[in-house]
């Protein structure tokens, strides 16, 4: 830890202290929708097909707008909320940026 001005983060996977900038660069993954558009936190998306929601006993219809998505660690999934379903996770292959 020679550089005192830089923030350091403990990386649990490697068991070492690493510069925060190095960790951020590794986590900077592009998330794209079914059409190839870049997604970001807070975007609105539209469903491209009917989806049965496991555990909720509902089907979200094609064309349903989902507002304010959040990106996850997995670039193939986005976290979101629907009026009737809390804690919904959608695959990016079934959404298109609005």
**What number of residues does the chain have?**
98
| 9 and 49 inside one domain | no
| 46 and 23 inside one domain | no
3-class secondary-structure state, position 19: strand
Contacts of 27 (CB under 8 A, 6+ apart): 73
- State the average pLDDT for the chain: 86
| 14 and 54 inside one domain | no
| 93 and 65 inside one domain | yes
pTM tops 0.85 = no
Q: How far apart are CA 43 and CA 97, in angstroms?
A: 7
| 8 and 45 inside one domain | no
pLDDT per residue, tens digit, the chain (98 aa), is 455 667 888 878 788 888 877 766 666 678 999 999 999 999 999 999 999 998 888 999 999 999 999 998 888 999 998 888 888 999 999 999 99
| 81 and 93 inside one domain | yes
Q: How far apart are CA 12 and CA 9, in angstroms?
A: 9
CATH number at residue 51: 2.30.30.40
| 79 and 39 inside one domain | yes
Domains in the chain: how many in total? 2
Q: Which residue segment(s) compose the domain that 62 sits in?
A: 33-97
| 40 and 79 inside one domain | yes
């Amino acid at each position: 830890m020679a550089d005192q001005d830089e923030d350091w983060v403990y990386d649990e996977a490697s068991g070492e202290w690493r510069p925060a900038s190095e960790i951020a660069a590794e986590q900077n993954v592009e998330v794209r929708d079914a059409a190839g558009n870049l997604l970001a936190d807070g975007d609105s998306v539209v469903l491209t097909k009917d989806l049965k929601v496991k555990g909720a006993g509902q089907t979200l219809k094609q064309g349903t707008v989902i507002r304010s998505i959040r990106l996850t660690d997995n670039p193939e999934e986005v976290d979101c909320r629907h009026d009737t379903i809390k804690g919904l996770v959608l695959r990016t292959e079934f959404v298109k940026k609005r």
